[in-house]
């Protein structure tokens, strides 16, 4: 239980559980960040990004500070939910859901990272499916977007498998170098046609109120 509803959100699938990122869970997840297991090859993220910080302790501090700042984004137009990915009771990564101009466009974006200890086991697809269930079923989104470097086969492959459609390209930088990104979009109608019945949500009504989506 939590006195702050976004921290009490829970999404459960047969393979993973996504829990609101409490400080207790972040403390358990911190060793993955400290040991550099949140980084990826090829790197999927724009600059600046905390995972590229070379000093392990400063890397953890920057990571935590970003999450703590994100907790304050709870307006109905712009918000960010941070969830910890749990596998067999252990935290192994994070999956965020971000709303920009949500009351106007009902669109969301997702952001995630997964420890190198558990990659290539299908967990990335499962956690994305979980957050999409929250977006569409729990928060009534109309469209979900995703973006990854063009050579990030893992993230782009997940988008394709889950029914996203290509939505153009965009330039960004990664460690100071220009990289081309691929954009994706998933419409509510496409998600609904393939909706899963084995994903459950908890704590969403209270979270909706905290985000200002419901009175």
Instruction: Note the pLDDT tens digit of each residue in 163-204.
Output: 999 999 999 888 888 989 999 999 999 999 999 999 999 999
Predicted local distance difference test score (pLDDT) of residue 40: 64
- In this structure, the number of other CB atoms found within 10 A of the CB of residue 177 comes to 9
pLDDT band at 48 (very low <50, low <70, confident <90, very high): confident
Instruction: Note the pLDDT tens digit of each residue in 73-114.
Output: 888 999 999 999 999 999 999 999 999 899 999 999 999 999
> Residues in the chain, how many?
215
Instruction: Note the pLDDT tens digit of each residue in 16-33.
Output: 999 999 999 999 999 999
Q: Is the pLDDT of residue 2 over 80?
A: no
Owner of token pair 């989506």: 213
> What's the distance, CA 3 to chain centroid?
22
Predicted local distance difference test score (pLDDT) of residue 45: 65
How many Å from the N-terminal Cα to the C-terminal Cα in the chain? 22
For residue 10, what are the β-bridge partners?
A: 19, 202
Predicted local distance difference test score (pLDDT) of residue 49: 83
Instruction: Note the pLDDT tens digit of each residue in 140-156.
Output: 999 999 998 888 888 99
The mean predicted confidence, pLDDT, of the chain is 93
For residue 130, which of 85, 164, 177, 167 has the smallest C-alpha distance? Answer: 85
Predicted local distance difference test score (pLDDT) of residue 21: 97
pLDDT band at 44 (very low <50, low <70, confident <90, very high): low
Predicted local distance difference test score (pLDDT) of residue 152: 86
Q: Is the pLDDT of residue 132 over 70?
A: yes
> Mind listing the domains of the chain with CATH numbers?
5-211 (3.40.630.30)
Q: What is the mean pLDDT of residues 54-80?
A: 93
């Amino acid at each position: 239980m939590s006195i702050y509803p976004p921290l009490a959100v829970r999404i459960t699938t047969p393979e993973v559980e996504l829990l609101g990122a409490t400080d207790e869970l972040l403390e358990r997840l911190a060793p993955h960040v400290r040991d550099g297991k949140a980084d990826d090859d090829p790197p999927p993220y724009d600059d600046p990004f905390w995972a590229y910080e070379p000093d392990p302790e400063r890397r953890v501090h920057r990571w935590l500070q970003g999450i703590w700042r994100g907790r304050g984004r709870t307006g109905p137009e712009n918000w960010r939910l941070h969830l910890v990915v749990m596998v067999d009771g252990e935290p192994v990564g994070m999956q965020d859901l971000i709303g920009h101009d949500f009351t106007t466009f009902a669109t969301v974006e997702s952001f995630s990272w997964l420890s190198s200890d558990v990659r290539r086991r299908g967990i990335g697809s499962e956690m994305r499916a979980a957050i999409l269930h929250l977006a569409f079923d729990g928060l009534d989104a109309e469209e979900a977007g995703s973006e990854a470097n063009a050579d990030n086969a893992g993230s782009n492959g997940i988008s394709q498998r889950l029914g996203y459609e290509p939505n153009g390209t965009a330039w960004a930088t990664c460690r100071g170098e220009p990289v081309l990104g691929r954009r994706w979009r998933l419409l509510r109608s496409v998600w609904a046609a393939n909706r899963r019945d084995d994903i459950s949500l908890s704590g969403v009504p209270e979270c909706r109120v905290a985000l200002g989506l419901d009175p």
